Amino acid sequence: MIGLAYGSFGLEDPPRTSWDFLMWFIISVCAWCWTAFMLFIGMRYMDRDSRTLRYGQTTLLPFFVLHQAVILVIAYYVVQWQAGIFIKFMVIALGAFAVSLGITELIIKRVPLLRILFGMKAETHPKAQVASV
- Is the CA virtual torsion 73, 55, 111, 118 positive or negative? positive
Please check whether residue 121 is in contact with residue 61, taking contact to mean a CB–CB distance below 8 angstroms: no
**Among 119, 94, 99, 96, CA closest to 109:** 119
Q: How far apart are CA 38 and CA 132, in angstroms?
A: 43
Q: How far apart are CA 41 and CA 35, in angstroms?
A: 10
pLDDT over threshold 80, residue 7: no
Q: How far apart are CA 125 and CA 94, in angstroms?
A: 32
Q: What is the mean pLDDT of residues 7-14?
A: 72
Please check whether residue 40 is in contact with residue 26, taking contact to mean a CB–CB distance below 8 angstroms: no
Please check whether residue 89 is in contact with residue 79, taking contact to mean a CB–CB distance below 8 angstroms: no
Of all helices (H) and strands (E), which one includes residue 2?
strand 2-4
The confidence band for 115, taking pLDDT boundaries of 50, 70 and 90, is confident
* pLDDT given for residue 3 in this prediction: 47
pTM score, two decimals? 0.63
* pLDDT given for residue 67 in this prediction: 93
